[in-house]
Every structure is written in C-alpha cells, then in structure tokens.
Amino acid sequence: MLLETKKMVPPDGGYGWIAVIGVSIVNLCTRSIEQSFGILFGDVLAEIGVATTGSAVIMSTLDALINFSGLFVGPLIRAFSYRKVSFAGAFLTALGLMMTSPARSMTHIIATYSIINGIGVGLASSATFVSLNHYFLKKRGQAVGYSMAGTAFGMFVIPHAVGFLLEMYTFSGAILILGAIALHGLVGSALLQPAKWHLVPDKVIEEEPIKEMETIKEAEEDLESDATSPTLITVTTNPDLSPKVFDERPLTRKATFPRNFSTMSFLNRRRKTSTESIYSSISTMDFTGSSFHLHLQDPVREEPKCNENGLTVPLAHGIRRNMSYPAVQTHDRENKLLKEIREREPLHFEPKKKDTVWKKIIDFLDLDLLTDPIYLNLVFGLSAFYVAEQNFKMLLPFFFNNLQYTKQDQANFLSIQAAADSSVRLIFSPIFDKFNIRKRTLFFISIFLLGISRSVLAEQTEWTMIVIVLVICGFFRGCALINFTITIAEYSSLEKLPAAFGLHMVGKGIFVVAFGPLLGYIRDKSGSYPLCLHSQTFFIMLCCFAWSIEYIVVWAKNRNKDNKKPNKS
C-alpha cells in the first residue's frame, strides 16, 4: 500500500531558487567591494601617509568585525529571523560606506568602513548562509555555489566600476555611490522568506502491504479463565468520555486474543458475525491510540511465586486496555491492586537543579561546541586559510602596482581572476554535489593547489604569464570557496548551525587580528611583495598540515578498532 508521510522537508528547489537569487544580490551588494580595496583606497591612503601595515590594520579590523559579529548571529536569528538579520546587515553596510565618503584619516576609515560596514557585512553574510541551509538538503552545495556567484560577478564588475567612478567623481563620490548600490541588498534580504512557508511533504514511499503484528496465543488455562469472565470490555454510558459506545459482548468460545497488535489491523475490516473470535469482533472499533497489557492478580489460580527481585507476586493474568478511550475502565479489584503497587513502590522525582549563570551562557551561545576537538581543528584550518585569502585580496593590487601596471591593467587582472572564479562556481557546484566525497576533502585538495599556484604567481612579471596563472588561481579559488562554508554545515546539525557558523566566524576574526597585520609587517620590513605572497601560502599549508594530522589520527583509531574486532570464521 502507499503511505504518504506527514513529515515536512525543505523544498530543495522551488522557492529556494528565489532565495538563492536574494542571497546572490546581498553578496553582490555587500561583499564585492573588498576585492577592490587597493584600487578604491590607494590614493587616499597615500595622501594620509598610510603604508602597507596601515592598510593591513584597516582590512584586519574590517575582517575582525565581520567575523566577531558571528558570535551574536545565532542568538539574533533565534530571537528574530535570518531575514530580519540580513536586512539589518545590508542597511549597516550601506550606512558604513556612505559615512566613509568624507574620510581623510585612518581613524575615520576604521570607524566607518571597518567597524560599521564590517558589522553589517558579517550579519548579512551569516544570515544568508543560514537561510540557504533551511531551503536545501541534497542541493546545498549547488545553492551555495550559485549564491556566491553574485560575489564573484561583483568582483568582475566592481573593479572597472570603481576605476570609472574614481575618474568621474573622485574618492568621496565613488564610495557614496557604492553605498547606494549596497542599499540594494535590502531587496535581496526581502526575498528570504521563512523556509517554513515553503516546506513540502516528504516523497510518497511505496511499501509492501503492512502485515499485522504476530500474536502470541495464551495458555490453555488462561483461555479457560478468560472464558469465565463476563466481559472483556466494560463500557461507560457517558458519551462525553468516549466517541463511540460499544455493547458488552460476552465471550462464547475460546479465543486467541492477541497480546500485541497493530492499530493498522483495525483499518479496512468488515463487520463479522458474533460467532467469530473476539479479535474479529472488536476489529471494527475505531482504536487510534496505543494499548498496554496489565498483569493483575487472580486468587483462583496457582499459588504466588517469587520474581527475580525476591518479591512475592501472585500469578497474573492479562487484560488489555486502550489508552485513547477513557470509556475502557478497570474493575474494582484491579484498581485495588494498582493502589497497592503504588503504595509499595512510590515514585520519586528528584528536584530539578537550577542552571548556573555560566551554564546559561554556554547554552545560549552553544559554547559546548568548543569541547569538540574535530570542530576546533576544522575552525583552525578554515581560519588559517581565511587570513591568507583576505590578505591576498588586499595585497594583489599593490603587487601589480609595484610591477608598474596601470589601474586599468590592475582592474583587468582582477576581472580575469574573478571570471574564472565565477565560471567554476556556476559549472562545478552541481557537479560537486553528485560526488560521493566530503566537501571538506574537496576543499582540502583545492586550497593545496591554490597555495602552490599563488606562489607561482608571486614570481611572475610578464603580462601573459600573469594572466595564465591568474586563471589557474581563479579556478582553484572557486573550487575552494564553493566548499568553504559548507564544511561547517556538513559537520553540524541544522539546529546547531547558526552557533557553529558564528563560532567559526569568531575563530576567523581572532586569526585576522593576530596574523593579518603580521603579513603586512613582513612586506614593509622585507620590501618584497613576493615574500609576502609566499607567507600567505604558508598559512594555507598550515591548514593542510593540521587537517592531515587529524586524518591520520582518525584513520589509525579506526584501524585499531577494526583489528580488535574478532574474526568470524
């Protein structure tokens, strides 16, 4: 027969694709400008005498605020919704950019661009990622990849737009217009309707006809005793207590009354004559609840026996009662026996201990995740990669400028890399979903090859070779970022996801604050941009090293468990 389950599941499509468009709009309007930081702020920072270390401080503060805001994403989403949190994030992003328009000092830039804009980007990006995980299960990687394509497309367009705006309106007018573009993130946020509005029933499952549960026939002496009972069911005449009233039906012959039965066995049966077994006689009743079996004392039977606990218990006989119908009553002697049992073994309830303030904080922020070593190692690796990625985006325009390339050439280089990145996200996202490989493994392979390709880029000076290596870097970067955030969703449950993602962002913020300025300091002290790019590759390889150790340890433990299992011969 066909059973249609009532479980509601995410649509894995449908309106989910509209939500993907909304997330893509938010990413396009809030995150695309980061890649063009060097082009946009280059002249202003040169005027106020800020070197590479100062630029790294601005970007590190921005990244720190983006990520530390993740600590409050989980509680905010629970208190409001991912839609409202994304809306607030998009508004703060636009406000921060517009307030940066008159900036002529590093302090002003940090206060508006790094702090206000950073908090807005952090809230918007976290809320949009959580929303996609509520809409998709099997196609989650494809959805995240398509949504991130908006960021990649922005990185392709924004460098040229920034160059044009700087030429037409100078820095103040250009960043004011970029702030107005960021306001369009409000439109994308409005598309993130609650996923519960669009849940669909789980697919119809075709199964074999359900068979009734096997019954256990009672002993012959039990049957004889039951046959002497006046009725098996005592019915009240009060219609308020029971939806149906049944006539008393005496047992006229020995019956094989089942100890256990399935409520499904009461469906689709025709009324049979009273000469049939008692099982058939009551099968037309509309029973919908679970039933229980009481073993009650019968003084007519054998002498009492001792149970396994040493307690003297008379031989019992069985009686069935359905929990859904108050009309099914027990006899006086049964009530008396139940009362004696309660008096003999009273129930004890221990008072619930009050949670401490620290326990409440842990539960509120889901800090128990920090006791999971695999999760901590996962966050460590992602944070190390993130530091390298953010510093690479900040440093790349300065690297090209040091090679005496014009702003137009710099914009072309960034667009070429972004084009390769966008193509990979659109093409490979559905392909990766079909692989029976963990997203974390795909990410691991991608960043390893990305680190090598960036070190190769650091040694290039010719236009043609730079373009070729940038295409390779864009390819591996796209493969890595498709799986970057999904590694957290893959490891965490949906209930814990906001907290897991938020703590992961806090980890990235700590690494950015601790090591972001260090990479800029290496460039200023050494005077070498290639050395700074190689140091970023070192952080990528640090992630690979930490995860490799974990893989080896887990593999060794699993191997030991397999060896300890007895061989079946």
Question: Considering just the CA atoms, what is the radius of gyration of the chain in Å?
Answer: 34
Question: Per mean pLDDT, which range of 196-205, 305-314, 475-484 is the poorest?
Answer: 305-314
Tell me the average pLDDT across 290-309: 48
Which residues pair with residue 2 across a beta bridge?
Answer: 206
| Structure token pair of residue 503 | 């703590």
* Nearest Cα to Cα of residue 118 among 172, 57, 181: 57
Q: Position of tokens 């820095």? A: 171
**Residue 346: predicted pLDDT:** 59
Percent of the chain at pLDDT exceeding 90: 21
pLDDT category at 253 given cuts 50, 70, 90 is very low
Highest mean pLDDT, choosing among 138-142, 195-199, 346-350? 195-199
Contact 315, 290 (CB under 8 A): no
Task: Give, to the nearest 10 degrees, the angle between helix 15-31 and helix 117-135.
Answer: 160
Question: Per mean pLDDT, which range of 351-355, 449-453, 511-515 is the poorest?
Answer: 351-355
**Residue 365: predicted pLDDT:** 65
Contact 304, 313 (CB under 8 A): yes
* Nearest Cα to Cα of residue 497 among 147, 132, 68: 132
Tell me the average pLDDT across 114-139: 87
- Outline where DSSP puts E strands in 323-429: none
Backbone φ and ψ of 266, nearest 5°: -85, -5
C-alpha distances in angstroms, 518 versus 35, 402, 527, 532, 538?
20, 20, 14, 10, 13
Q: CA-to-CA distance for 342 and 348, rounded, in angstroms?
A: 11
pLDDT for residue 93 is more than 90? yes
For residue 316, the surrounding DSSP H or E stretch is strand 316-322
| Structure token pair of residue 282 | 């009551």
487-507 per-position pLDDT tens digit = 888 887 777 777 787 788 888
C-alpha distances in angstroms, 192 versus 29, 201, 447?
15, 21, 31
Contact 424, 145 (CB under 8 A): no
Residue 75 CB neighbours (<10 A):
15
**Residue 349: predicted pLDDT:** 57
**Residue 333: predicted pLDDT:** 67
Residue scoring higher pLDDT (142 or 107): 107
* Nearest Cα to Cα of residue 36 among 410, 401, 453: 410
Residue 286 CB neighbours (<10 A):
11
What is the chain's length? 569
**Residue 471: predicted pLDDT:** 93
Tell me the average pLDDT across 123-136: 85
Backbone φ and ψ of 200, nearest 5°: -125, 155
395-405 per-position pLDDT tens digit = 888 888 888 88
219-246 per-position pLDDT tens digit = 444 444 444 444 444 444 444 444 444 4
* Nearest Cα to Cα of residue 515 among 417, 368, 418, 385: 385
Q: CA-to-CA distance for 533 and 529, rounded, in angstroms?
A: 6
Percent of the chain at pLDDT exceeding 70: 70
**Residue 329: predicted pLDDT:** 54
DSSP label of 113: I
Tell me the average pLDDT across 255-261: 44
| Structure token pair of residue 291 | 């039933």
Helices (H), 403-496: 407-434, 439-457, 463-484, 486-491
Residue 309 CB neighbours (<10 A):
6
Longest dimension (CA), the chain: 107
**Residue 264: predicted pLDDT:** 44
| Structure token pair of residue 11 | 């649509």
Highest mean pLDDT, choosing among 83-87, 159-163, 318-322? 83-87
Contacts of 215 (CB under 8 A, 6+ apart): 256, 258, 259, 260, 261, 279
Q: CA-to-CA distance for 264 and 262, rounded, in angstroms?
A: 5
* Nearest Cα to Cα of residue 41 among 150, 114, 119: 114
- How many CA atoms within 13 Å lie on the side-chain side of 118? 23
**pTM of the complete model beyond 0.75:** no
pLDDT for residue 167 is more than 50? yes
Q: CA-to-CA distance for 323 and 318, rounded, in angstroms?
A: 16
**Answer CATH for 2-203+360-558 from 3.40.50.300, 1.10.10.1590, 1.20.1250.20, 3.10.150.10:** 1.20.1250.20
Contact 287, 307 (CB under 8 A): no
Please give the distance of CA 241 from its chain centroid, rounded to a whole number: 46
Which residues pair with residue 291 across a beta bridge?
Answer: 322
**Residue 53: predicted pLDDT:** 67
Tell me the average pLDDT across 533-558: 92
Q: CA-to-CA distance for 153 and 414, rounded, in angstroms?
A: 11
Contacts of 527 (CB under 8 A, 6+ apart): none
319-331 per-position pLDDT tens digit = 444 444 444 455 6
Report domain extents, the chain.
Answer: 2-203+360-558, 235-328
368-412 per-position pLDDT tens digit = 778 889 989 999 999 999 889 888 887 888 888 888 888 788 888
Contact 51, 524 (CB under 8 A): yes
Backbone φ and ψ of 260, nearest 5°: -125, 140
Burial degree of 291 (CB within 10 A; 0-12, 13-18, 19+): middle
* Nearest Cα to Cα of residue 159 among 145, 178, 146, 142: 178
pLDDT for residue 85 is more than 60? yes
Q: CA-to-CA distance for 401 and 399, rounded, in angstroms?
A: 5
Residue scoring higher pLDDT (410 or 265): 410
**Residue 418: predicted pLDDT:** 82
Mean pLDDT (the chain, rounded): 75
Contacts of 234 (CB under 8 A, 6+ apart): 248, 328, 329, 331
